[in-house]
Amino acid sequence: MNLQIQKETEGNTDKLLINGEVDAYTAPKLKDTLISLTEQKGREVVVDLSGVQYMDSTGLGVFVGALKSSQQHGSSLKLTGMTERVHRLFDITGLTDVMNIEAHTKGEVR
Using the rule CB under 8 A, is 24 a contact of other proteins?
yes
Query: C-beta of 36: minimal distance to other proteins in Å?
Result: 14
Query: C-beta of 63: minimal distance to other proteins in Å?
Result: 9
Strand residues in 24-98 grouped as ranges (E): 44-55, 76-80
Q: Select from 10, 91, 6 the least CA-distant residue to 51.
A: 6
Query: C-beta of 93: minimal distance to other proteins in Å?
Result: 4
- What DSSP character marks residue 95? G
Window 55-94: residues binding other proteins (CB under 8 A): 56-58, 60-62, 64-65, 67-69, 92-94
- What are the strands of the beta sheet with 100-101, ordered from one edge? 3-10, 13-22, 44-55, 76-80, 100-101
**In the beta sheet, which residues pair with residue 83?**
none
**Residue of 8, 98, 103, 110 interacting with other proteins (CB under 8 A):** 98
Rg from Cα positions in the chain: 13
**Residue of 19, 76, 95, 104 interacting with other proteins (CB under 8 A):** 95
Which residues in this chain contact other proteins in the complex, by CB under 8 A? 24, 31, 56-58, 60-62, 64-65, 67-69, 92-95, 97-98
